[in-house]
């Protein structure tokens, strides 16, 4: 007696072609939240790194505490907090905003540490020479410190860009239908998992591998510019 | 010594000297590096500072450049207090903007050059004048060309620091500081990090500047013959105090203090 007839999956090209447009729509959402999230993270991370070098303890300490806290808790917890707890305080964010803000904040804290390492690799004498030509602190950051610190930080930053793409499927946890959510929906409707999840994996690969190559190229170009 | 006569527009305590230090104290932890230091340097004076390492001679330059903040005392640069502002006839700790304003009169050349490695020689020399003196690119570049010619490096204007020898780097660093047209120039052991055969080219540039400009110069150096050639006064430092302060020929031929004698003997034996 069989309750349900489930044949072992064999790859069905026809089915795969049928679901591909929906899958691509899902990929678009995933890439979108990643790009917006990581773009904010790269800028915010730099700001956080600079704030952690502030002369004022009242700025340096709270920022440091926040960075350590966010780095030590899972992104999923942060997403749930934004999505389910903040509304109690009348801050209501859509799923899309939640995943973007979550990714941005989470990766800002990681990239800030990378920027910080880059900043600390710039010798103290560079700050002193900037003082000797009377630059302001902001001018010193802009013209002397960051142009040396960022190329150093670039390889590690690139890795975070790729990593954030792989965290983006967490969007489905706050009801944003990215590529993985689409795949799961298809599986739920048709009881076929092989094609949608395989396609999801391959599509991720198709985005992240060229991205990784791009990062390596960027790295090399900047390495040349330094000498 | 500085006159304490009032200048018309400034407070009654503003001294006429170009640099005037009044009971300046700098500590690193329990270590007193500048011990109630009094010092006056007149405009156009060239002062060489000598002394054993750890005597505070580098710290005096760093305090003047605002790289270290003294715990006590008042420092005046061309009649204006560097770390203080006057309020109701009282000196109170200054805002950052005031410090920057006074600091414009001071520049410094370092032992390890500290050129900006990501910028060409042109950009190294023009950055300060463009960003802090408000010069246009053309004007700043003209000034850079003049100065690079003066230090004998016109042909290096498009090079990066990594392509230069130590002596060339230090000459660029001197040009970079001169481009700020400071009233006071500080030189912190500028030949100590150089290979022996490169010391001469830097010293001859320094001698040229000392003889042909009106700038007030404070130099920390171990090059005694050079000191004798260009200095108006030599200060012997020990334990955060000036133990002897005399013209170079007197200092080197007939030092009075035992510590000066011992130090000079040790240095000249090398």
Residues 8-67 of B with CB under 8 A from A: 65-67
Chain B nearest C-alpha distance from A144 (Å): 7
| C-alpha separations of A114 from A39, A43, A104, A155, B194 in Å | 15, 12, 15, 10, 34
Taking an 8 Å cut-off on Cβ atoms, the answer to whether A133 and B128 are in contact is yes
Query: Tokens in use for A116?
Result: 């910080």
Q: What is the pLDDT of residue B9?
A: 42
Whether pLDDT at A223 is above 70:
no
Taking an 8 Å cut-off on Cβ atoms, the answer to whether B110 and A132 are in contact is yes
Distance CA B50, CA B76 (A): 22
> Coil, strand, or helix at residue B152?
coil
Distance CA B263, CA A203 (A): 75
Put residue B36 in one of left, alpha, beta given phi > 0 → left and psi -120 to 50 → alpha: left
> Average pLDDT, stretch A64-88?
94
Specify burial of residue B254 (Cβ count, 10 A radius: 0-12, 13-18, 19+): exposed
Whether pLDDT at A3 is above 60:
no
Q: What is the pLDDT of residue A4?
A: 53
Chain A nearest C-alpha distance from B252 (Å): 32
Taking an 8 Å cut-off on Cβ atoms, the answer to whether A134 and B66 are in contact is no
Distance CA A223, CA B246 (A): 52
Chain A nearest C-alpha distance from B67 (Å): 7
> Average pLDDT, stretch A111-130?
96
Q: How far apart are the first and last CA of chain B?
A: 35
Distance CA A188, CA A196 (A): 11
Which stretches within chain B are classed as H helix? 57-64, 96-103, 121-132, 137-150, 166-178, 196-212, 224-230, 248-253, 258-269
Chain B nearest C-alpha distance from A128 (Å): 7
* Residue B110: closest C-alpha in chain A: A129
Taking an 8 Å cut-off on Cβ atoms, the answer to whether A128 and B67 are in contact is yes
Distance CA B270, CA B252 (A): 15
Element spanning A218, H or E: helix A194-226
Q: Are B201 and B233 in contact (CB under 8 A)?
A: no
Query: Tokens in use for A227?
Result: 């000498």
Element spanning B74, H or E: strand B72-77
Distance CA A92, CA A112 (A): 27
Which stretches within chain A are classed as H helix? 13-51, 57-71, 75-80, 95-120, 124-132, 137-140, 146-167, 179-190, 194-226
Q: What is the pLDDT of residue B54?
A: 82
Distance CA B226, CA B203 (A): 7
Q: Are B138 and B119 in contact (CB under 8 A)?
A: no
A-chain CB neighbours of B117 within 8 Å are 148, 226
Q: What is the pLDDT of residue B89?
A: 85
> Coil, strand, or helix at residue B218?
strand
> Average pLDDT, stretch A59-64?
94
Read off the pLDDT of residues A133-164 as tens digits, 9 standing for 90 and up: 999 999 999 999 999 999 889 888 988 998 99
Q: What is the pLDDT of residue B268?
A: 78
Distance CA B3, CA B16 (A): 6
Q: Is ipTM > 0.85 here?
A: yes
> Average pLDDT, stretch A70-99?
93
Read off the pLDDT of residues A14-60 as tens digits, 9 standing for 90 and up: 998 999 999 999 999 999 999 999 999 999 999 999 999 988 899 99
Query: Tokens in use for A207?
Result: 């985005």
Q: Are A145 and A127 in contact (CB under 8 A)?
A: yes
* Closest of B156, B181, B186 to residue B168, by C-alpha: B156
Low-confidence ranges of chain B (pLDDT < 50): 1-12
Q: What is the pLDDT of residue B125?
A: 97
* Residue B123: closest C-alpha in chain A: A143
Nearest to A132 among B117, B118, B177 (CB): B177
Taking an 8 Å cut-off on Cβ atoms, the answer to whether B131 and A135 are in contact is yes
> Average pLDDT, stretch A87-101?
93
Distance CA B112, CA B194 (A): 9
Angle of helix B121-132 relative to helix B137-150, nearest 10 degrees? 130
Distance CA A117, CA A104 (A): 20
Query: Tokens in use for A173?
Result: 């946890």
Give the mean pLDDT of chain A: 90
Distance CA A79, CA A97 (A): 10
Q: Are A143 and B131 in contact (CB under 8 A)?
A: yes
């Amino acid at each position: 007696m069989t309750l349900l007839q489930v044949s072992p999956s064999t790859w069905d090209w026809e089915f795969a072609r049928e679901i591909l447009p929906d899958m691509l729509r899902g990929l678009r959402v995933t890439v979108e939240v990643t790009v917006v999230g990581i773009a904010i993270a790269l800028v915010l991370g730099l700001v956080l790194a600079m704030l952690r070098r502030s002369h004022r303890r009242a700025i340096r300490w709270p920022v440091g505490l926040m960075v350590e806290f966010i780095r030590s808790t899972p992104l999923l917890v942060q997403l749930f907090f934004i999505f389910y707890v903040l509304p109690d305080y009348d801050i209501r964010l859509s799923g899309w905003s939640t995943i973007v803000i979550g990714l941005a904040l989470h990766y800002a804290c990681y990239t800030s540490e990378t920027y910080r390492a880059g900043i600390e690799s710039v010798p103290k004498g560079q700050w002193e020479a900037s003082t000797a030509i009377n630059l302001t602190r902001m001018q010193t950051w802009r013209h002397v410190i960051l142009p040396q610190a960022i190329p150093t930080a670039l390889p590690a930053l690139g890795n975070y860009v790729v990593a954030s793409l792989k965290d983006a499927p967490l969007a489905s946890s706050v009801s944003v239908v990215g590529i993985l959510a689409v795949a799961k929906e298809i599986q739920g409707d048709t009881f076929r998992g092989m094609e949608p999840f395989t396609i999801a994996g391959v599509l991720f690969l198709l985005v992240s591998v060229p991205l990784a190559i791009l990062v390596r190229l960027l790295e090399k170009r900047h390495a040349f510019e330094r000498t | 010594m500085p006159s304490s006569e009032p200048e018309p527009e400034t407070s009654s305590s503003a001294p006429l000297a170009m640099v005037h230090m009044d009971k300046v104290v700098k500590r690193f932890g329990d270590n007193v590096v500048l011990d109630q230091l009094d010092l006056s340097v007149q405009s156009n004076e060239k002062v060489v500072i000598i002394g054993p390492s750890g005597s505070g001679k580098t710290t005096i330059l760093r305090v003047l450049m605002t790289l270290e903040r003294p715990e006590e005392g008042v420092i005046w640069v061309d009649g204006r207090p560097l770390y203080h502002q006057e309020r109701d006839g009282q000196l109170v700790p200054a805002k950052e903007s005031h410090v920057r304003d006074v600091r414009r009169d001071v520049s410094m050349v370092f032992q390890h050059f500290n050129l900006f490695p990501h910028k060409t020689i042109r950009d190294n020399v023009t950055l300060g004048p463009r960003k802090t003196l408000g010069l246009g690119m053309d004007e700043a570049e003209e000034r850079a060309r003049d100065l690079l010619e003066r230090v004998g490096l016109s042909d290096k204007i498009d090079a990066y620091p990594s392509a230069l020898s130590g002596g060339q780097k230090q000459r660029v660093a001197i040009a970079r500081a001169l481009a700020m047209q400071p009233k006071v120039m500080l030189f912190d052991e500028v030949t100590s990090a150089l290979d022996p055969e490169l010391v001469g080219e830097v010293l001859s540039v320094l001698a040229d500047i000392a003889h042909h400009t009106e700038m007030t110069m404070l130099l920390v150096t171990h090059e005694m013959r050079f000191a004798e050639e260009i200095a108006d006064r030599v200060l012997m430092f020990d334990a955060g105090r000036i133990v002897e302060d005399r013209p170079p020929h007197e200092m080197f031929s007939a030092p009075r203090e035992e510590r000066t004698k011992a130090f000079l003997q040790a240095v000249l034996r090398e």
